[in-house]
Amino acid sequence: EAGVTQFPSHSVIEKGQTVTLRCDPISGHDNLYWYRRVMGKEIKFLLHFVKESKQDESGMPNNRFLAERTGGTYSTLKVQPAELEDSGVYFCASSPGSSYTYNEQFFGPGTRLTVL
């Protein structure tokens, strides 16, 4: 079974440009999460989808970040316009639905975003 995949693996853009990150969760997983790790610090939660609905978006830093999960399958995270402090590694994770005893979150390899 394929794991969580993310595209692209790396992205280098200039300040003010737009970047869209994509995450394909494990097939059948209802829960999808976005996290990011900035400058070697802790990995921080951004938001959580249950199917196509946003369950928790308390970690989204500001309105330059827009996450979508149309149809409850893959998700995109758009940063527009990008700022220098947005540089970091963006992780996506997915987990099964609430019927499971423990919803382990499986992480993708991450997208390394560099804003120049």
Partner 1 sequence: GQQLNQSPQSMFIQEGEDVSMNCTSSSIFNTWLWYKQDPGEGPVLLIALYKAGELTSNGRLTAQFGITRKDSFLNISASIPSDVGIYFCAGQLGTSSASKIIFGSGTRLSIRP
Secondary structure class of 8 (helix, strand, coil): coil
Q: Which of 11, 19, 25, 48 binds partner 1 (CB under 8 A)?
A: 48
Residues numbered 55-84 forming contacts with partner 1, rule: CB under 8 A: 56, 58-59
Residue 45 binds partner 1, judged by CB under 8 A: yes
Alpha-carbon span 50 to 98, nearest angstrom: 10
Cis peptide, bond prior to residue 61, ω within 30 of zero: no
Question: What's CA 107's distance to the chain center, in Å?
Answer: 10
Residue 109 binds partner 1, judged by CB under 8 A: yes
Residues lying near partner 1 in the complex (CB under 8 A) are found at 4, 31, 33, 35, 40-45, 48, 50, 56, 58-59, 91, 93, 95, 98, 100-105, 107-110
